[in-house]
A and B are shown apart, each in its own frame.
Chain A
Amino acid sequence: MKKTLFDKVWDKHVVQQIDQGPDVLFIDRHMVHEVTSPVAFLGLKNRNIKVMYPERTFATADHNTPTINQHLPVQDPLSAKQLDALEKNAAEHGISFWGLGHEKNGIVHVVGPEYGITVPGATIVCGDSHTSTHGAFGAIAFGIGTSEVEMVLSTQCILQPKPKKMRITINGNLEKGVTPKDVALFIISQLTTSGATGHFVEYAGDVFKNMSMEGRMTVCNLSIEMGARGGMIAPDEKTFHYIKDREFTPKGAAWDKAMDYWQELYTDEDATFDKEFFFEGAEIEPMITFGTNPGMGMGISKSIPTSDTIEGGATTYKKSLDYMGYNEGESMIGKDIDFVFIGSCTNGRIEDFRAFTEIVKGRKKADNVTAWLVPGSHNVEKAIKEEGLLDILQASGFELREPGCSACLAMNDDKVPQGKYAVSTSNRNFEGRQGPGSRTLLASPIMAAAAAVTGKVTDPRTLINS
């Protein structure tokens, strides 16, 4: 039987198949954060049980943490209580805990790969939909709800029906100024925000082969934004090189044993998918969103589609444009903006900060723009300083904040005010996502940089130094 990459990893983890029911899936690595775990730990307490395999769970605080003055006590009492609960729960159950101030602290989907918790062929879950990020390494990684967090803590398993399979192949090369974020926003704009619901996606073709691990993480991260449970890319030499010798990756004989398994992780020729899509790299240009879901994106040179060309409800579409304060048929170039946010599990890695810095170098931050630069982890923060990026950023009028999810979901104080526009490298442009009444334009780090120095929406290709 010909198998896909997804089949191979899934089948390897099925403990039991329930007749006419879901599979009992064994979970290799589980990550928890402060927001979606406390009720799960409470459930364990009520049942009077302990975490079954504490060495397979890792805890970090990220969603609800401040991004300035992290050395001081957290001001918001509710946030402080939630952070405290995670620390206590981790201690009680013997789970690694990388809290605020810990050198390994950072966004769960940034630190997982950094420390080698993320490996090919693994099943990885977390109470966060962007867990799909880890699929970049050829893992089956997906977000779960709190009841499921409780299942994994108590039994290291989860009950899941096997999703359908989809493959998205993009061959050819990307043009100048087109980044992995643009590739992802392009795919979502083509498939819509629900086009991959019920499916697990494999990304294949030259474009993904040639992409860095950071780029692959950005693409897989955004799989959920078209409804997919997750996305994955077959591991290759680039993957193995990236993970080798990281703290939690297998060593010695264990590495060799794992490699025997990992080398088999590719889709067999003639294996079948429930759905397939094919695109060419040259079709993609720098992308920006204009509406209130990530599927409402377009190439920067295009104009906002008219409602008669939109599939589905015109009422919902118009409501969305009203919220954004935009009209059908308009260009996005030159639109006023107020905030720029670079960070999040989507684009908060060192490569993203390098790309941002490359554009702002020798230019000045526009006076009308408030910029929040939030590294995905202390590791990223350290690299920004060590590589000299911080000096360049500061010379251009930017400051660096401390790691966390920050304005991506605005649980902490990093909120975009009512009615204001933010060009954001994060993952969701839902109504109020970045603060009540905020308006989000999703884009790549270089599009964000172009907006930050010009004070408006600008095609980043016009600023790329040749």
Chain B
Amino acid sequence: MAYDKFDILNSTAVPLSIENVDTDQIIPARFLKATERLGFGDNLFRDWRYNSDDTPKKDFVLNNDTYSGKILVGGKNFGSGSSREHAAWAIYDYGFRCVISSFFADIFRNNCLNIGVLPVQVSPEFLQQIFSAIEADPKSTFTVDLGQQKVTIDNTAASESFEINPYKKDNMINGFDDIDYLLNIKKEIKNFAQDTPL
């Protein structure tokens, strides 16, 4: 299914300065029982965000009105663990369109790209600059320019370029998805399948 096109995103950001944020934290397994892709944002970071009696945990960043925006900034090795695409869905459904970190787990990165959330990998130093900018002023804005493959801290004009596979970049800018691509080469796939050894 085609998704939102991604071009330039200008937004404030929500800082989550924790390393190795795994997909069980992003969305715990007990919230994976749906048969449709609906409402996962409500349970984003469920156990960090709410107490067992469902009252909000005041010290968690998503419960702090000071921070908001369409960009989530996480520590190193973001999205490790389970392959659940529900983690990317929850991030999207909550309202984020971009996750910035200094390192992403592979499956999570792919899942994000497949649903139109842009994973932006920056150097550890630049990640620290981003966290510092938010700490100094929670209303700091950031510009993520996919076409130019560049992320900028607007206050300081400091910027860094990021990598993305050209095919995936084209998909995101145009809102295409991989299944459209694959369905168009079904004939080649059929020919290939006739010769597979297994």
| Residues of A near any B CB (own CB < 8 A) | 12-13, 15-16, 18, 20-22, 24, 26, 28-29, 35-36, 38-39, 42-43, 46-47, 49, 52-53, 63-64, 76, 78-79, 81-82, 85, 119, 121-122, 127-129, 131, 143-148, 150-151, 154-159, 161, 163, 193-194, 197-198, 224, 227, 229, 250, 257-258, 261, 293, 312-313, 315-316, 319, 409-411, 418, 428, 430-433, 436-437
Q: Is B177 an interface residue (CB 8 A)?
A: yes
Which chain A positions have C-beta within 8 A of B19?
312-313, 316
Which chain A positions have C-beta within 8 A of B99?
none
- Distance of A13 Cα from B196 Cα, bound (Å): 8
Can you report 27 A-B residue pairs in the complex whose CB atoms are below 8 A from each other?
A: A21-B168, A26-B192, A35-B32, A38-B35, A39-B85, A53-B193, A64-B32, A85-B35, A121-B197, A129-B107, A145-B84, A147-B177, A148-B110, A148-B114, A151-B179, A159-B181, A161-B165, A194-B77, A197-B103, A227-B77, A312-B19, A319-B18, A428-B81, A428-B82, A431-B25, A431-B47, A436-B28
With A157-B189, A258-B197 as known contacts, state yes or no: A82 contacts B35, CB within 8 Å: yes
**Contacting A316 at CB < 8 Å: which of B75, B80, B107?**
B75
**Contacting B52 at CB < 8 Å: which of A293, A410, A436?**
A436
Closest residue on chain B to residue A53 by CB atoms? B193
Closest residue on chain B to residue A20 by CB atoms? B166
Q: Is B154 an interface residue (CB 8 A)?
A: no
- Distance of A229 Cα from B28 Cα, bound (Å): 21
User: Are the CB atoms of A159 and B182 closer together than 8 Å?
Assistant: yes
**Contacting A36 at CB < 8 Å: which of B85, B106, B192?**
B85
- Distance of A18 Cα from B169 Cα, bound (Å): 13
- Distance of A36 Cα from B111 Cα, bound (Å): 12
Among B18, B29, B47, B165, find the residue whose CB has the most chain A CB atoms closer than 10 A: B29
User: Are the CB atoms of B192 and A145 closer together than 8 Å?
Assistant: no
Q: Is B136 an interface residue (CB 8 A)?
A: no
With A145-B88, A258-B198, A430-B24 as known contacts, state yes or no: A316 contacts B183, CB within 8 Å: no
Among A122, A150, A410, find the residue whose CB has the most chain B CB atoms closer than 10 A: A150
User: Are the CB atoms of A155 and B166 closer together than 8 Å?
Assistant: no
Which chain B positions have C-beta within 8 A of A119?
198
User: Are the CB atoms of B198 and A24 closer together than 8 Å?
Assistant: no
Which chain B positions have C-beta within 8 A of A131?
83
Interface size, chain B (Cβ < 8 Å): 58
- Distance of A35 Cα from B83 Cα, bound (Å): 11
Which chain A positions have C-beta within 8 A of B80?
193-194, 197, 227, 293
User: Are the CB atoms of A156 and B189 closer together than 8 Å?
Assistant: yes
In the assembled complex, the CB of A223 is this many whole angstroms from the nearest CB of chain B, namely 12
Beyond the given pairs A64-B33, A430-B25, 20 more chain A to chain B contacts, judged by CB atoms under 8 angstroms and listed by A's residue number, are A16-B188, A20-B166, A21-B165, A21-B167, A24-B182, A26-B192, A35-B84, A39-B35, A43-B179, A119-B198, A127-B83, A143-B107, A147-B85, A147-B111, A147-B177, A194-B80, A227-B77, A258-B198, A431-B24, A433-B24
- Distance of A27 Cα from B116 Cα, bound (Å): 24
Cβ proximity bits B19-39 to A, threshold 8 Å, 1 near / 0 not? 110101100111011111100
Q: Is B185 an interface residue (CB 8 A)?
A: yes
User: Are the CB atoms of A146 and B182 closer together than 8 Å?
Assistant: no
User: Are the CB atoms of B83 and A128 closer together than 8 Å?
Assistant: yes
User: Are the CB atoms of A229 and B106 closer together than 8 Å?
Assistant: yes
Which chain A positions have C-beta within 8 A of B167?
18, 20-22, 159
Which chain B positions have C-beta within 8 A of A418?
52
User: Are the CB atoms of A156 and B33 closer together than 8 Å?
Assistant: no
User: Are the CB atoms of A42 and B183 closer together than 8 Å?
Assistant: no
User: Are the CB atoms of B85 and A155 closer together than 8 Å?
Assistant: no
- Distance of A154 Cα from B115 Cα, bound (Å): 17
User: Are the CB atoms of B75 and A147 closer together than 8 Å?
Assistant: no
- Distance of A447 Cα from B88 Cα, bound (Å): 36
Which chain B positions have C-beta within 8 A of A52?
186, 189
Which chain B positions have C-beta within 8 A of A312?
19, 76
In the assembled complex, the CB of A217 is this many whole angstroms from the nearest CB of chain B, namely 18
User: Are the CB atoms of B24 and A155 closer together than 8 Å?
Assistant: no
- Distance of A240 Cα from B60 Cα, bound (Å): 53
Among B33, B186, B196, find the residue whose CB has the most chain A CB atoms closer than 10 A: B33
Give chain B interface residues in 43-100, CB to chain A under 8 Å: 47, 52, 75-77, 80-86, 88
**Contacting B33 at CB < 8 Å: which of A26, A79, A122, A150?**
A79
User: Are the CB atoms of B185 and A257 closer together than 8 Å?
Assistant: no
- Distance of A35 Cα from B185 Cα, bound (Å): 29
- Distance of A411 Cα from B31 Cα, bound (Å): 8
User: Are the CB atoms of B179 and A145 closer together than 8 Å?
Assistant: no
- Distance of A53 Cα from B192 Cα, bound (Å): 13
Which chain A positions have C-beta within 8 A of B77?
193-194, 197, 227
In the assembled complex, the CB of A267 is this many whole angstroms from the nearest CB of chain B, namely 19
- Distance of A23 Cα from B196 Cα, bound (Å): 17
